[in-house]
Amino acid sequence: MHQGTAWTPLPSSSLRAEEPVRQGHPQIHASRREVAAAVDAETAWARVALDTISDAVLTIDLHGTVTYMNRVAETLTGWSEPEAIGKPLSRVFHRVDGKTQQTSIPPGQRAIEENRTVGLALDGVLVRQDGSKLEIEDSAAPTRDREGRVTGAVIVFHDATRSQVMLARMAYLAQHDALTGLPNRALLTERLSRAIGLARRHRHLVALLYLDLDAFKPINDSFGHALGDSLLQAVASRLQDCMRDIDTVCRQGGDEFVILLAEIMKPEDATRVAEKLLAVLGRPYRIHGHELLITLSIGISLYPDDADDADTLMHNADTAMYHTKRNGRNGHQCFTAGMNTLLIQRRRLEPGLDRSLRPSQLFFDF
């Protein structure tokens, strides 16, 4: 009974001391009707609650007889509740081992005998009423009355394939960008490391192209994030159309993308791809009623010419892209060792420039 429902017996003062309690006393009948009504209301409430959850629920008594099934249990077992009530659990909930196909110990029986919650193996198979089979995940727990005595068991189960689909979806989201569906940096790093290992054994080149959309922020700020997101999706689609199956297009974040060319024979192969991307992505985009033009700045680094590990290769491609930006944008540059020297010098100068631009710190000689 729900804890919020309470029944207080009639006080003894309501009866005459010398009058024996008789079955026909109207107050006794009224109290019993109130209790019955409260039980019925609570049972109805419990049924509604159990019919709204996504798991199947089935209960049995101490003899292993089915006493209740919710709607999901009806769907998964193929039995309707009226058909199942009063039947042995082993008939309604026929569970076999997925590997041996041997009948498993009834889960409710274990819960009752061991007086504890039982988490069963993940390879259970439910033989449904029509003989078809369904992979399930299930558990069972004893039910008790108010004095703590075991009165039966409740079995909770669900379609295991649903969990497998959910796990697959979570694994996909962990390695892909939610907006574009492209591989994210984690998946790119994994594929880049694998590509370097293959290139080392087979003596070919690997190229990374680091792409940044020129002037994307003004477009995003002027037309709104919805249009900006649609533009990024359109860019991602064009990038994928330009690549081979063995290559990887990754969204690095924001308006930055990285392309892994897993197998090339000479550096010119990478520059040829960069020029193709500049031409294809430079065509107008028609989005939300607006015609947009956007250009790219691309940096290229090669294995083994520029680096022999994934992190350094990524860093060098990013550095080359930065130099493309500084040299006018809408183009591509291959990494050279001198770029790192220039970058280090710039970073050393930046703090001094910041200080010199403060009031009273910048002097002019006329």
The pLDDT value given to residue 11: 38
208 pLDDT higher than 90: yes
The pLDDT value given to residue 362: 42
Retrieve residue 143's tokens: 């039910």
pLDDT tens digits, one per residue of 34-57: 555 555 555 666 677 777 788 899
The pLDDT value given to residue 171: 83
Query: CB 271: neighbour CB atoms within 10 A?
Result: 17
Q: Which of 15-29, 209-223, 290-304, 347-361 comes out lowest in average pLDDT?
A: 15-29
Nearest Cα residue to 66 out of 141, 176, 153: 153
The burial class, CB within 10 Å (0-12 / 13-18 / 19+), for 142 is buried
Q: Which residues of 310-337 are buried (b: 16+ CB within 10 A; e: fewer)?
A: beebbbbbbbbbbbbeeeeeebbbbbee
Q: Once rounded to an integer, what is the mean pLDDT over residues 214-232?
A: 92
pLDDT tens digits, one per residue of 100-113: 888 887 788 889 99
The burial class, CB within 10 Å (0-12 / 13-18 / 19+), for 93 is buried
CA 107: distance to chain centroid? Answer: 30
The pLDDT value given to residue 231: 96
Which residue's entry shows tokens 């009273």? 360
List domains and CATH numbers for the chain.
29-164 (3.30.450.20), 176-356 (3.30.70.270)
Question: What order do you get walking across the sheet with 205-214 strand by strand?
Answer: 248-253, 256-264, 205-214, 295-303, 331-334
How far apart are the C-alpha atoms of 331 and 220, rounded to whole Å?
A: 22
8 pLDDT higher than 60: no
249 pLDDT higher than 90: yes
For residues 13 and 294, which has the higher predicted lDDT (pLDDT)? Answer: 294
The listed range with the strongest mean pLDDT (37-51, 110-124, 146-160) is 146-160
The pLDDT value given to residue 40: 55
User: SS3 of 20, please?
Assistant: coil
CA 219: distance to chain centroid? Answer: 31
Counting residues of the chain whose pLDDT is more than 70, the rounded percentage is 78
| Strands 150-159, 248-253: pairing kind | unpaired
Q: Does this model's pTM top 0.75?
A: no
